[in-house]
Amino acid sequence: MRILILGSGAREHAIVDALLAEDAGHEIVVAPGNAGIAAQVETLAMDPTDGVLVADYARDHRIDLVVVGPEAPLVAGVADPIRRHGIPVFGPDRAAAALEGSKAFAKRIMEAAGVPTGRSVHASALDEVAAALDDLGAPHVVKADGLAAGKGVIVTDDRDAALSHAEHYLQQGGVLIEEFLSGPEVSLFFFADGHDVLPLSPAQDYKRVGDGDTGANTGGMGAYSPLPWLDHDFGSEAAFVDEVRRTIALPTIRALEAEGTPFRGLLYCGLVLTPQGIRVIEFNARFGDPETQVVLPRLRTPLSELLLASAEGRLGGMPDPEFSDDVSVIVVLASEGYPENPLTGRELSGVGAPLPAGVTITHAATARVGDRLLTTGGRVLGVVATGTAFATARAAAYTALDGIGLEGGHYRHDIAERVS
Ligand code: AMP
Ligand code: GLY
């Protein structure tokens, strides 16, 4: 297949790796990509949010499938003109991508679908925020309604901090005050074709910047998959996945279909396992990053077939994707100052060195300038280790990280510790 992938992060790098691992002779182009992706496949300097440009390119180059990686192009509507050209595209149209782009829209769909989530109030003025904070009580959860690149959510006991966070985002279209949900978080992805869904294997993300879940929220500092403790809580991973499919993913996709906004792409269910049951904390309209980097190495079913079947509305009747029994761990290396003010343009060393078996590096924000590899963003790269046991996989990931140099670079030291 000729596959065009939009995006420039480690998630897109992991998608490329998974497609190459099929050994099916796919021709892959990534726009715009990064230094790690460019070392493996063709990259192209094209604005991934410009739908008309992308659609014209895909038609002119006889692309068989377009895969949209990040949320910004989806929310901007990149998929719409591609689909109008009759080209299969993995990623929802703008109207359905509002499931991620607007927390208020997501809450409305969840209500229509009867999906379990926290109580919430949408506020567009500060006095409404204050009343909702008092009504729902501490800890306070305030969320920007629109996209905020991982910075839109604050969870705090400090009422004044909650108010000032809300004040900032009120100017950008409103906020959601939500009931605090307590329990372990799970990321579970589903392929969706507008009507049917197929599940991937669950992962856990580490959102806070510091060890022991301290410090600011980030886009994700590490992840692991699968989650062995689900066996204890739910009997088996399959039982857990099945409950989420039945009570969350399928009703959501059917509610979107009923509204005339069919969702074809990746439904990311961000879940909290509360003592009262599973609750949705957020939906995203694309693969999670860094969770994808630990889920796809375990996928045994060819990824290209699942992406294309989702884009073409053919998931119904297909068997569930198969996963290996291997475990996978990713540790993310971030720039000095991330997430508040990442310092970029610094040189990385040691990235080209030979890696132990089962270890790969997914690039997130890198560019090659001459023979130097420079950082271009906050999350720089992730070291992914896949193997038969968490203890050895995480040790391999940290050993490989020791060999990488970046002034001011930092990473968490406790990724997958609880399962090792
Ligand atoms: P989100 O961007 O909605 O995923 O929120 C980022 C992080 O904030 C989540 O991964 C949770 O750790 C935390 N969070 C969001 N909503 C809640 C909530 N209602 N209760 C507790 N923590 C939350
Ligand atoms: N890792 C969280 C996300 O992809 O939104």
Q: Are 213 and 150 in contact (CB under 8 A)?
A: no
Q: What is the pLDDT of residues 74-119, one digit of tens each?
A: 999 999 999 999 999 999 999 999 999 998 899 999 999 999 999 9
Instruction: Tell me if 100 CB under 6 Å of ligand 1.
Output: no
From the CA of 220, which ligand is nearest? 2
27-32 and 42-43 strand pairing: parallel
* 238 CA distance to ligand 1 middle (Å): 25
The C-alpha angle 196, 5, 366, rounded to 5 degrees, equals 130
Nearest ligand atom owner, CA of 204: 2
185 lines ligand 1 (CB under 6 A): yes
Atom of ligand 1 nearest to the CA of 150: 2
Q: Which of 147, 289, 412 to mutate to test the pocket of ligand 2 (most atoms within 8 A of CB)?
A: 289
Ligand 2 probe mutation, 153, 189, 205, 293, most atoms within 8 A of CB: 205
pLDDT in tens, 146-205: 777 667 888 989 888 888 888 888 887 788 999 999 999 999 999 999 999 999 999 999
Whole-angstrom distance, CA of residue 282 vs CA of residue 109: 12
Quickly state the pLDDT bin for 402 (edges 50, 70, 90). Answer: very high
- How far, in Å, is the centroid of ligand 1 from the Cα of 259? 27
Q: Are 284 and 268 a contacting pair, CB within 8 Å?
A: yes
pTM to 2 decimals?
0.95
The ligand that comes nearest to the alpha carbon of residue 106 is 1
Nearest CA to ligand 1 atom 3: 282
* pLDDT at site 168: 86
> Does residue 126 register a pLDDT over 90?
no
Q: How far apart are CA 48 and CA 42, in angstroms?
A: 15
Residue 150 has a pLDDT of 63
Domains of the chain, start order: 2-94 (3.40.50.20), 121-178 (3.30.1490.20), 182-312 (3.30.470.20), 327-406 (3.90.600.10)
At 264-295, the pLDDT tens digits run 999 999 999 999 999 999 999 999 999 999 99
In angstroms, the CA 60 to CA 56 distance is: 6
Specify the residue with its C-alpha closest to ligand 1, atom 16. Answer: 281
pLDDT recorded at residue 171: 82
Contact (Cβ atoms closer than 8 angstroms) between residue 313 and residue 264: yes
Ligand 2, CB cutoff 6 Å, lining residues: 205, 219-220, 284, 288-289, 291
Give distance in angstroms: CA of 281 to centre of ligand 1.
6
